[in-house]
Chains A and B, each alone.
Chain A
Protein backbone atom coordinates (compact mmCIF):
# COMPACT_ATOMS: atom_id res chain seq x y z
CA UNK A 1 0.00 0.00 0.00
CA UNK A 2 2.92 2.30 0.81
CA UNK A 3 4.29 2.06 -2.72
CA UNK A 4 0.82 2.62 -4.10
CA UNK A 5 0.50 5.89 -2.15
CA UNK A 6 3.93 7.05 -3.25
CA UNK A 7 2.91 6.35 -6.82
CA UNK A 8 -0.20 8.43 -6.40
CA UNK A 9 1.96 11.32 -5.24
CA UNK A 10 3.13 11.64 -8.83
CA UNK A 11 -0.26 13.08 -9.70
CA UNK A 12 -0.61 16.83 -9.39
CA UNK A 13 -4.19 16.68 -8.13
CA UNK A 14 -3.09 14.37 -5.30
CA UNK A 15 -0.33 16.72 -4.26
CA UNK A 16 -2.76 19.65 -4.35
CA UNK A 17 -5.27 17.70 -2.27
CA UNK A 18 -2.65 16.78 0.31
CA UNK A 19 -1.19 20.27 0.52
CA UNK A 20 -4.44 22.20 0.70
CA UNK A 21 -6.12 19.54 2.84
CA UNK A 22 -3.25 19.53 5.34
CA UNK A 23 -3.31 23.30 5.69
CA UNK A 24 -7.09 23.42 6.07
CA UNK A 25 -7.13 20.55 8.57
CA UNK A 26 -4.47 22.30 10.67
CA UNK A 27 -6.32 25.59 10.91
CA UNK A 28 -9.70 23.91 11.43
CA UNK A 29 -8.27 22.07 14.42
CA UNK A 30 -6.61 25.17 15.91
CA UNK A 31 -9.81 27.21 15.57
CA UNK A 32 -11.84 24.23 16.75
CA UNK A 33 -10.05 24.18 20.11
CA UNK A 34 -11.05 27.80 20.67
CA UNK A 35 -14.62 27.39 19.43
CA UNK A 36 -15.38 24.21 21.37
CA UNK A 37 -14.10 25.73 24.61
CA UNK A 38 -16.27 28.77 23.97
CA UNK A 39 -19.25 26.46 23.45
CA UNK A 40 -19.52 27.49 19.82
CA UNK A 41 -19.00 23.95 18.49
CA UNK A 42 -21.94 24.18 16.15
CA UNK A 43 -20.71 27.28 14.41
CA UNK A 44 -19.15 25.03 11.76
CA UNK A 45 -22.57 23.55 11.05
CA UNK A 46 -24.23 26.94 11.03
CA UNK A 47 -21.73 28.60 8.73
CA UNK A 48 -21.55 25.61 6.40
CA UNK A 49 -25.32 25.84 5.97
CA UNK A 50 -24.84 29.46 5.00
CA UNK A 51 -22.13 28.27 2.63
CA UNK A 52 -24.73 26.02 1.02
CA UNK A 53 -26.99 29.02 0.49
CA UNK A 54 -24.16 31.08 -0.92
CA UNK A 55 -23.02 28.32 -3.28
CA UNK A 56 -26.61 28.04 -4.56
CA UNK A 57 -26.58 31.82 -5.06
CA UNK A 58 -23.28 31.63 -6.94
CA UNK A 59 -24.63 28.91 -9.19
CA UNK A 60 -27.81 30.84 -9.83
CA UNK A 61 -25.67 33.84 -10.80
CA UNK A 62 -23.22 31.60 -12.67
CA UNK A 63 -20.17 32.93 -10.82
CA UNK A 64 -17.28 31.23 -9.00
CA UNK A 65 -18.73 29.84 -5.70
CA UNK A 66 -15.86 30.84 -3.40
CA UNK A 67 -16.13 34.45 -4.57
CA UNK A 68 -19.71 34.57 -3.31
CA UNK A 69 -19.33 32.25 -0.30
CA UNK A 70 -16.42 34.07 1.33
CA UNK A 71 -18.13 37.46 1.80
CA UNK A 72 -21.57 35.98 2.54
CA UNK A 73 -20.25 33.61 5.21
CA UNK A 74 -18.02 36.28 6.76
CA UNK A 75 -21.00 38.64 7.07
CA UNK A 76 -23.08 35.81 8.57
CA UNK A 77 -20.41 35.03 11.15
CA UNK A 78 -20.37 38.68 12.17
CA UNK A 79 -24.16 38.51 12.34
CA UNK A 80 -23.88 35.66 14.86
CA UNK A 81 -21.44 37.74 16.91
CA UNK A 82 -23.74 40.79 16.82
CA UNK A 83 -26.82 38.81 17.72
CA UNK A 84 -25.04 37.26 20.69
CA UNK A 85 -23.75 40.61 21.91
CA UNK A 86 -26.66 42.91 21.09
CA UNK A 87 -29.85 40.89 20.80
CA UNK A 88 -29.34 39.19 24.16
CA UNK A 89 -29.50 35.64 22.80
CA UNK A 90 -27.09 32.80 23.39
CA UNK A 91 -24.54 31.74 20.77
CA UNK A 92 -26.27 28.44 19.99
CA UNK A 93 -29.57 30.23 19.25
CA UNK A 94 -27.80 32.80 17.05
CA UNK A 95 -26.09 29.96 15.16
CA UNK A 96 -29.49 28.25 14.79
CA UNK A 97 -31.02 31.40 13.29
CA UNK A 98 -28.22 31.99 10.78
CA UNK A 99 -27.97 28.29 9.94
CA UNK A 100 -31.64 27.81 9.15
CA UNK A 101 -31.85 31.03 7.15
CA UNK A 102 -28.76 29.88 5.18
CA UNK A 103 -30.34 26.53 4.31
CA UNK A 104 -33.71 28.10 3.49
CA UNK A 105 -32.09 30.61 1.13
CA UNK A 106 -30.08 27.80 -0.47
CA UNK A 107 -33.18 25.71 -1.14
CA UNK A 108 -35.08 28.69 -2.52
CA UNK A 109 -32.22 29.75 -4.78
CA UNK A 110 -31.61 26.20 -5.99
CA UNK A 111 -35.29 25.87 -6.73
CA UNK A 112 -35.41 29.19 -8.60
CA UNK A 113 -32.31 28.14 -10.56
CA UNK A 114 -34.04 24.99 -11.74
CA UNK A 115 -33.50 22.51 -8.92
CA UNK A 116 -30.54 20.74 -7.36
CA UNK A 117 -27.83 19.76 -9.78
CA UNK A 118 -24.70 17.63 -9.63
CA UNK A 119 -22.46 20.63 -8.85
CA UNK A 120 -24.44 21.62 -5.80
CA UNK A 121 -24.37 18.06 -4.50
CA UNK A 122 -20.59 17.95 -4.99
CA UNK A 123 -20.34 20.89 -2.57
CA UNK A 124 -22.58 19.13 -0.09
CA UNK A 125 -20.26 16.12 0.12
CA UNK A 126 -16.98 17.70 -0.89
CA UNK A 127 -14.36 16.60 -3.37
CA UNK A 128 -10.87 17.19 -2.14
CA UNK A 129 -9.39 15.73 -5.32
CA UNK A 130 -10.89 18.52 -7.40
CA UNK A 131 -9.02 21.30 -5.58
CA UNK A 132 -7.58 23.75 -8.09
CA UNK A 133 -4.25 25.57 -7.99
CA UNK A 134 -5.99 28.84 -7.12
CA UNK A 135 -7.78 27.12 -4.22
CA UNK A 136 -4.45 25.79 -2.97
CA UNK A 137 -3.08 29.34 -3.05
CA UNK A 138 -6.18 30.62 -1.24
CA UNK A 139 -5.80 27.86 1.37
CA UNK A 140 -2.14 28.80 1.83
CA UNK A 141 -2.90 32.49 2.32
CA UNK A 142 -5.79 31.83 4.71
CA UNK A 143 -3.76 29.27 6.67
CA UNK A 144 -0.88 31.70 7.08
CA UNK A 145 -3.32 34.36 8.29
CA UNK A 146 -4.99 32.00 10.79
CA UNK A 147 -1.74 30.55 12.11
CA UNK A 148 -0.15 34.00 12.44
CA UNK A 149 -3.22 35.37 14.22
CA UNK A 150 -3.31 32.44 16.64
CA UNK A 151 0.45 32.59 17.27
CA UNK A 152 0.69 36.33 17.88
CA UNK A 153 -2.56 36.58 19.85
CA UNK A 154 -2.27 33.24 21.59
CA UNK A 155 -2.24 34.69 25.11
CA UNK A 156 -5.16 37.03 24.42
CA UNK A 157 -7.18 34.23 22.83
CA UNK A 158 -6.50 31.99 25.81
CA UNK A 159 -7.44 34.73 28.24
CA UNK A 160 -10.70 35.56 26.44
CA UNK A 161 -11.60 31.90 26.05
CA UNK A 162 -11.01 31.12 29.71
CA UNK A 163 -12.33 34.27 31.38
CA UNK A 164 -13.69 37.05 29.18
CA UNK A 165 -14.34 39.44 32.07
CA UNK A 166 -10.76 39.17 33.32
CA UNK A 167 -9.54 39.63 29.74
CA UNK A 168 -11.53 42.86 29.43
CA UNK A 169 -10.25 44.04 32.82
CA UNK A 170 -6.70 43.36 31.58
CA UNK A 171 -7.30 45.74 28.68
CA UNK A 172 -7.38 43.05 25.99
CA UNK A 173 -9.38 44.30 22.96
CA UNK A 174 -11.89 41.48 23.39
CA UNK A 175 -14.38 42.61 20.74
CA UNK A 176 -11.67 43.05 18.13
CA UNK A 177 -10.19 39.61 18.79
CA UNK A 178 -13.64 37.96 18.83
CA UNK A 179 -14.35 39.54 15.46
CA UNK A 180 -11.02 38.31 14.15
CA UNK A 181 -11.74 34.74 15.30
CA UNK A 182 -15.20 34.78 13.72
CA UNK A 183 -13.93 36.10 10.39
CA UNK A 184 -11.12 33.54 10.29
CA UNK A 185 -13.57 30.79 11.19
CA UNK A 186 -15.91 31.86 8.40
CA UNK A 187 -13.17 31.83 5.78
CA UNK A 188 -11.89 28.48 7.07
CA UNK A 189 -15.36 26.91 6.92
CA UNK A 190 -15.73 27.95 3.28
CA UNK A 191 -12.39 26.33 2.46
CA UNK A 192 -13.22 23.20 4.46
CA UNK A 193 -16.24 22.71 2.22
CA UNK A 194 -13.85 21.56 -0.52
CA UNK A 195 -12.23 19.00 1.79
CA UNK A 196 -15.13 17.21 3.44
CA UNK A 197 -18.18 18.98 2.04
CA UNK A 198 -20.79 21.21 3.62
CA UNK A 199 -22.36 18.28 5.48
CA UNK A 200 -19.20 17.34 7.35
CA UNK A 201 -17.39 20.64 7.83
CA UNK A 202 -18.10 20.95 11.54
CA UNK A 203 -16.42 17.55 12.08
CA UNK A 204 -13.08 19.09 11.06
CA UNK A 205 -13.56 21.80 13.68
CA UNK A 206 -14.96 19.70 16.53
CA UNK A 207 -13.45 16.20 16.38
CA UNK A 208 -9.73 17.05 16.60
CA UNK A 209 -10.46 19.44 19.47
CA UNK A 210 -12.44 16.96 21.55
CA UNK A 211 -9.80 14.32 20.80
CA UNK A 212 -7.09 16.61 22.16
CA UNK A 213 -9.13 17.49 25.27
CA UNK A 214 -9.25 13.84 26.36
CA UNK A 215 -5.66 13.82 27.54
CA UNK A 216 -4.47 17.43 27.16
CA UNK A 217 -2.19 18.68 29.92
CA UNK A 218 -2.90 22.34 29.26
CA UNK A 219 -4.29 24.74 26.67
CA UNK A 220 -1.01 25.00 24.78
CA UNK A 221 -0.80 21.22 24.72
CA UNK A 222 -4.35 20.96 23.31
CA UNK A 223 -3.45 23.50 20.63
CA UNK A 224 -0.63 21.21 19.48
CA UNK A 225 -2.35 17.84 19.77
CA UNK A 226 -5.57 18.83 17.95
CA UNK A 227 -3.86 19.95 14.71
CA UNK A 228 -1.61 16.89 14.82
CA UNK A 229 -4.60 14.53 15.12
CA UNK A 230 -6.35 16.44 12.36
CA UNK A 231 -3.37 16.27 10.03
CA UNK A 232 -2.93 12.53 10.58
CA UNK A 233 -6.63 11.95 9.87
CA UNK A 234 -6.41 13.99 6.69
CA UNK A 235 -3.36 12.23 5.28
CA UNK A 236 -4.54 8.74 6.23
CA UNK A 237 -8.04 9.55 4.95
CA UNK A 238 -6.74 10.52 1.53
CA UNK A 239 -4.40 7.52 1.42
CA UNK A 240 -7.19 5.11 2.34
CA UNK A 241 -9.58 6.63 -0.14
CA UNK A 242 -7.14 5.63 -2.92
CA UNK A 243 -6.71 2.13 -1.59
CA UNK A 244 -10.35 1.44 -0.81
CA UNK A 245 -11.93 3.64 -3.48
CA UNK A 246 -14.14 5.38 -0.94
CA UNK A 247 -14.96 9.11 -0.54
CA UNK A 248 -12.02 10.91 1.08
CA UNK A 249 -14.14 13.40 3.05
CA UNK A 250 -16.17 10.76 4.83
CA UNK A 251 -13.05 8.69 5.53
CA UNK A 252 -11.28 11.71 7.05
CA UNK A 253 -14.19 12.23 9.42
CA UNK A 254 -14.41 8.54 10.37
CA UNK A 255 -10.65 8.41 11.07
CA UNK A 256 -10.98 11.55 13.18
CA UNK A 257 -13.68 9.78 15.16
CA UNK A 258 -11.48 6.69 15.57
CA UNK A 259 -8.75 8.95 16.99
CA UNK A 260 -11.28 10.41 19.40
CA UNK A 261 -12.32 6.91 20.56
CA UNK A 262 -8.66 5.94 21.01
CA UNK A 263 -7.94 9.09 23.03
CA UNK A 264 -10.99 8.48 25.18
CA UNK A 265 -9.89 4.88 25.76
CA UNK A 266 -6.41 6.03 26.81
CA UNK A 267 -7.93 8.47 29.27
CA UNK A 268 -10.33 5.87 30.57
CA UNK A 269 -7.63 3.25 31.04
CA UNK A 270 -5.33 5.75 32.68
CA UNK A 271 -8.11 6.46 35.19
CA UNK A 272 -8.09 10.10 34.19
CA UNK A 273 -10.90 12.58 34.28
CA UNK A 274 -13.38 10.19 32.73
CA UNK A 275 -16.69 11.29 34.14
Chain B
Protein backbone atom coordinates (compact mmCIF):
# COMPACT_ATOMS: atom_id res chain seq x y z
CA UNK B 1 0.00 0.00 0.00
CA UNK B 2 1.34 3.45 -0.93
CA UNK B 3 1.39 5.79 2.05
CA UNK B 4 3.02 8.90 0.55
CA UNK B 5 3.29 9.66 -3.14
CA UNK B 6 4.82 12.76 -4.67
CA UNK B 7 4.12 13.39 -8.35
CA UNK B 8 5.89 16.12 -10.32
CA UNK B 9 6.05 18.30 -7.23
CA UNK B 10 7.20 21.90 -7.66
CA UNK B 11 7.35 24.39 -4.78
CA UNK B 12 8.47 28.02 -4.98
CA UNK B 13 9.03 30.64 -2.29
CA UNK B 14 8.10 33.73 -4.28
CA UNK B 15 10.09 33.44 -7.48
CA UNK B 16 12.64 31.13 -5.89
CA UNK B 17 12.23 27.45 -6.73
CA UNK B 18 12.69 25.27 -3.65
CA UNK B 19 11.61 21.90 -4.99
CA UNK B 20 11.58 20.90 -8.65
CA UNK B 21 9.93 17.87 -10.15
CA UNK B 22 10.08 15.73 -7.02
CA UNK B 23 8.80 12.20 -7.56
CA UNK B 24 8.82 9.32 -5.11
CA UNK B 25 6.52 6.76 -3.59
CA UNK B 26 6.78 5.55 0.01
CA UNK B 27 5.09 2.28 0.86
CA UNK B 28 3.68 1.01 4.13
CA UNK B 29 6.46 -0.18 6.44
CA UNK B 30 9.19 1.86 4.77
CA UNK B 31 11.66 3.58 7.08
CA UNK B 32 12.97 6.46 5.02
CA UNK B 33 15.94 8.64 5.92
CA UNK B 34 15.45 12.05 4.32
CA UNK B 35 18.85 13.66 3.91
CA UNK B 36 20.36 16.56 2.00
CA UNK B 37 22.43 19.70 2.54
CA UNK B 38 21.07 22.84 4.28
CA UNK B 39 18.50 24.56 2.10
CA UNK B 40 17.91 21.44 0.03
CA UNK B 41 14.16 21.55 0.66
CA UNK B 42 13.80 18.79 3.28
CA UNK B 43 11.58 20.75 5.65
CA UNK B 44 9.64 22.17 2.69
CA UNK B 45 8.96 18.65 1.48
CA UNK B 46 7.78 17.65 4.97
CA UNK B 47 5.42 20.63 5.00
CA UNK B 48 4.03 19.60 1.61
CA UNK B 49 3.47 16.05 2.82
CA UNK B 50 1.64 17.38 5.88
CA UNK B 51 -0.47 19.73 3.76
CA UNK B 52 1.02 22.85 5.35
CA UNK B 53 2.28 24.19 2.03
CA UNK B 54 0.51 24.30 -1.28
CA UNK B 55 2.69 23.23 -4.20
CA UNK B 56 3.07 25.42 -7.28
CA UNK B 57 2.60 22.33 -9.41
CA UNK B 58 2.13 18.62 -8.92
CA UNK B 59 0.74 16.85 -5.89
CA UNK B 60 1.46 14.88 -2.75
CA UNK B 61 -1.02 12.23 -1.70
CA UNK B 62 -1.30 10.67 1.75
CA UNK B 63 -2.92 7.24 1.94
CA UNK B 64 -4.13 7.85 -1.61
CA UNK B 65 -5.86 11.17 -0.87
CA UNK B 66 -4.74 14.72 -1.63
CA UNK B 67 -6.31 16.08 1.52
CA UNK B 68 -7.31 14.30 4.71
CA UNK B 69 -10.16 15.26 7.02
CA UNK B 70 -9.30 15.94 10.66
CA UNK B 71 -10.41 12.51 11.89
CA UNK B 72 -8.23 10.84 9.22
CA UNK B 73 -5.21 12.75 10.50
CA UNK B 74 -4.98 10.42 13.46
CA UNK B 75 -2.96 8.18 11.13
CA UNK B 76 -0.17 10.74 11.17
CA UNK B 77 2.34 11.59 13.89
CA UNK B 78 4.55 14.65 13.44
CA UNK B 79 7.56 15.98 15.29
CA UNK B 80 8.63 19.46 14.15
CA UNK B 81 12.26 20.40 13.67
CA UNK B 82 12.51 23.10 16.32
CA UNK B 83 11.40 22.59 19.88
CA UNK B 84 12.02 26.19 20.95
CA UNK B 85 9.13 27.52 18.87
CA UNK B 86 6.81 27.99 21.81
CA UNK B 87 6.49 30.70 24.42
CA UNK B 88 8.58 29.36 27.36
CA UNK B 89 6.09 30.88 29.80
CA UNK B 90 3.14 29.13 28.22
CA UNK B 91 1.18 27.71 31.17
CA UNK B 92 0.81 24.20 29.87
CA UNK B 93 1.59 20.88 31.49
CA UNK B 94 3.34 17.95 29.85
CA UNK B 95 0.10 15.92 29.89
CA UNK B 96 -1.85 18.72 28.22
CA UNK B 97 0.69 18.93 25.41
CA UNK B 98 0.86 15.18 24.81
CA UNK B 99 -2.94 15.02 24.71
CA UNK B 100 -2.82 17.27 21.64
CA UNK B 101 -1.55 14.28 19.69
CA UNK B 102 -4.98 12.73 20.21
CA UNK B 103 -6.99 15.70 18.98
CA UNK B 104 -7.95 14.05 15.68
CA UNK B 105 -10.21 11.62 17.55
CA UNK B 106 -11.72 14.19 19.88
CA UNK B 107 -15.29 13.42 20.94
CA UNK B 108 -17.85 15.71 22.61
CA UNK B 109 -15.46 18.64 22.77
CA UNK B 110 -12.86 16.66 24.71
CA UNK B 111 -9.76 14.65 23.95
CA UNK B 112 -9.83 11.15 25.42
CA UNK B 113 -6.93 8.77 25.96
CA UNK B 114 -5.51 9.03 29.46
CA UNK B 115 -4.18 5.47 29.27
CA UNK B 116 -2.41 6.12 25.97
CA UNK B 117 -0.83 9.23 27.45
CA UNK B 118 0.36 7.31 30.52
CA UNK B 119 1.85 4.55 28.35
CA UNK B 120 3.72 7.10 26.26
CA UNK B 121 4.96 8.93 29.35
CA UNK B 122 6.36 5.65 30.59
CA UNK B 123 7.94 4.71 27.24
CA UNK B 124 9.82 7.97 27.13
CA UNK B 125 10.64 7.94 30.85
CA UNK B 126 8.86 11.20 31.62
CA UNK B 127 6.06 9.99 33.91
CA UNK B 128 7.55 11.94 36.80
CA UNK B 129 7.20 15.27 34.99
CA UNK B 130 3.70 14.86 33.57
CA UNK B 131 2.22 17.66 35.68
CA UNK B 132 5.12 20.05 35.25
CA UNK B 133 4.96 23.11 33.01
CA UNK B 134 6.70 22.75 29.66
CA UNK B 135 8.76 25.90 30.16
CA UNK B 136 10.30 24.52 33.35
CA UNK B 137 11.87 21.54 31.56
CA UNK B 138 15.29 21.04 29.99
CA UNK B 139 15.67 20.92 26.19
CA UNK B 140 16.00 17.12 26.23
CA UNK B 141 12.88 16.71 28.35
CA UNK B 142 10.95 19.05 26.08
CA UNK B 143 12.09 17.04 23.06
CA UNK B 144 10.76 13.87 24.67
CA UNK B 145 7.42 15.56 25.36
CA UNK B 146 7.08 16.44 21.67
CA UNK B 147 8.12 12.93 20.66
CA UNK B 148 5.40 11.59 22.96
CA UNK B 149 2.88 13.95 21.34
CA UNK B 150 3.85 12.58 17.91
CA UNK B 151 3.58 8.93 19.00
CA UNK B 152 0.60 8.95 21.36
CA UNK B 153 -2.05 8.42 18.67
CA UNK B 154 -0.27 5.25 17.47
CA UNK B 155 0.17 6.67 13.98
CA UNK B 156 0.52 4.66 10.79
CA UNK B 157 2.83 7.31 9.37
CA UNK B 158 5.43 9.03 11.49
CA UNK B 159 7.15 12.17 10.21
CA UNK B 160 10.12 13.25 12.27
CA UNK B 161 12.19 16.34 11.57
CA UNK B 162 15.58 15.79 13.21
CA UNK B 163 14.26 13.99 16.27
CA UNK B 164 17.48 13.09 18.05
CA UNK B 165 19.04 16.53 18.12
CA UNK B 166 18.41 17.46 21.78
CA UNK B 167 18.43 14.01 23.36
CA UNK B 168 21.04 12.50 25.69
CA UNK B 169 22.80 9.46 24.16
CA UNK B 170 20.93 6.94 26.37
CA UNK B 171 17.53 8.43 25.71
CA UNK B 172 18.38 8.76 22.03
CA UNK B 173 19.24 5.05 21.76
CA UNK B 174 16.00 4.09 23.53
CA UNK B 175 14.03 6.35 21.25
CA UNK B 176 15.56 4.89 18.08
CA UNK B 177 14.95 1.36 19.41
CA UNK B 178 11.32 2.33 19.98
CA UNK B 179 11.08 3.63 16.40
CA UNK B 180 12.61 0.43 15.07
CA UNK B 181 10.13 -1.67 17.05
CA UNK B 182 7.22 0.43 15.77
CA UNK B 183 8.48 0.00 12.22
CA UNK B 184 9.27 -3.70 12.38
CA UNK B 185 6.49 -4.99 14.63
CA UNK B 186 3.62 -2.64 13.85
CA UNK B 187 4.54 -1.72 10.27
CA UNK B 188 4.59 2.00 11.03
CA UNK B 189 5.92 3.98 8.07
CA UNK B 190 8.61 6.44 9.13
CA UNK B 191 10.06 9.45 7.35
CA UNK B 192 12.94 10.95 9.26
CA UNK B 193 14.77 14.11 8.32
CA UNK B 194 18.31 13.94 9.60
CA UNK B 195 21.77 15.37 9.27
CA UNK B 196 23.17 12.34 11.04
CA UNK B 197 24.28 10.48 7.96
CA UNK B 198 26.45 8.28 10.15
CA UNK B 199 23.43 7.08 12.12
CA UNK B 200 20.69 6.91 9.54
CA UNK B 201 22.12 3.81 7.84
CA UNK B 202 21.75 1.96 11.10
CA UNK B 203 17.99 2.41 11.24
CA UNK B 204 16.42 3.33 7.93
CA UNK B 205 15.63 0.92 5.12
CA UNK B 206 15.50 3.57 2.40
CA UNK B 207 17.26 6.79 1.64
CA UNK B 208 15.74 9.87 0.03
CA UNK B 209 18.52 12.28 -0.86
CA UNK B 210 17.16 15.68 -1.73
CA UNK B 211 18.82 18.73 -3.17
CA UNK B 212 15.88 20.73 -4.51
CA UNK B 213 15.15 17.61 -6.56
CA UNK B 214 15.46 13.94 -5.81
CA UNK B 215 19.10 12.94 -6.19
CA UNK B 216 18.56 9.43 -4.94
CA UNK B 217 15.60 7.44 -3.69
CA UNK B 218 15.83 3.76 -2.98
CA UNK B 219 17.13 1.05 -0.67
CA UNK B 220 20.44 1.31 1.10
CA UNK B 221 21.91 -1.65 -0.75
CA UNK B 222 21.17 0.03 -4.04
CA UNK B 223 22.66 3.25 -2.74
CA UNK B 224 25.81 1.52 -1.53
CA UNK B 225 26.30 -0.17 -4.90
CA UNK B 226 25.76 3.06 -6.78
CA UNK B 227 28.97 4.54 -8.07
CA UNK B 228 27.74 7.90 -9.31
CA UNK B 229 26.57 8.87 -5.80
CA UNK B 230 30.09 9.84 -4.92
CA UNK B 231 29.75 13.12 -6.82
CA UNK B 232 26.87 14.17 -4.54
CA UNK B 233 27.89 12.71 -1.20
CA UNK B 234 31.63 12.54 -1.41
CA UNK B 235 33.20 9.15 -0.93
CA UNK B 236 33.56 9.62 2.83
CA UNK B 237 29.85 10.26 3.42
CA UNK B 238 28.76 7.37 1.29
CA UNK B 239 31.21 5.16 3.09
CA UNK B 240 29.91 6.21 6.51
CA UNK B 241 26.26 5.59 5.60
CA UNK B 242 26.96 2.21 4.06
CA UNK B 243 29.28 1.14 6.83
CA UNK B 244 26.56 1.77 9.48
CA UNK B 245 23.96 0.02 7.37
CA UNK B 246 25.97 -3.15 7.19
A residues near B93, Cβ cutoff 8 Å: 217-219
Residue of B nearest to A223 (CB): B91
**Contact between B73 and A217, CB atoms less than 8 A apart:** no
Counting chain A residues whose Cβ lies within 8 A of the other chain, the interface size class is 20 to 34
**Contact between A168 and B52, CB atoms less than 8 A apart:** yes
**Contact between B87 and A169, CB atoms less than 8 A apart:** no
Q: Would you mind naming 11 contact pairs between A and B with Cβ atoms under 8 Å apart? A: A37-B90, A155-B103, A155-B111, A162-B100, A163-B85, A166-B100, A171-B71, A171-B72, A216-B91, A219-B93, A273-B133
Q: A154-B109, A162-B97, A273-B135 are in contact. Are A219 and B103 (CB under 8 A)?
A: no
B2 to chain A, nearest CB (A): 20
Report if A175 contacts B (CB, 8 A). Answer: no
**Residue positions of A touching B, CB distance < 8 A:** 37, 39, 151-156, 158-159, 161-163, 165-166, 168-173, 212-213, 216-222, 273
Residue of A37, A159, A169 touching B78 (CB-CB under 8 A): A169
A residues near B26, Cβ cutoff 8 Å: none
A254 to chain B, nearest CB (A): 25
**Contact between A172 and B103, CB atoms less than 8 A apart:** yes
B residues near A159, Cβ cutoff 8 Å: 100, 103
A203 to chain B, nearest CB (A): 20
- Most chain B CB inside 10 Å of its own CB: which residue of A155, A166, A217: A166
Residue of B52, B92, B110 touching A162 (CB-CB under 8 A): B92
Residue of B70, B72, B80, B109 touching A165 (CB-CB under 8 A): B80
Q: Number of contacting residues on B, CB 8 A? A: 35
Report if B179 contacts A (CB, 8 A). Answer: no
A38 to chain B, nearest CB (A): 9
**Contact between B109 and A169, CB atoms less than 8 A apart:** no
A229 to chain B, nearest CB (A): 14
User: Within the assembled complex, what's the spacing in Å between the Cα atoms of A159 and B111?
Assistant: 11
User: Within the assembled complex, what's the spacing in Å between the Cα atoms of A219 and B134?
Assistant: 11
**Contact between A170 and B109, CB atoms less than 8 A apart:** no
B residues near A151, Cβ cutoff 8 Å: 109
B residues near A218, Cβ cutoff 8 Å: 91-93, 96, 131, 133
Known: A168-B50, A171-B68, A218-B133. 12 other contacts (CB 8 A): A154-B110, A155-B103, A155-B106, A155-B109, A165-B52, A170-B100, A171-B69, A212-B91, A217-B91, A217-B131, A273-B89, A273-B136
Contact string, B230-246, partner A, CB cutoff 8 A, digits 1/0? 00000000000000000
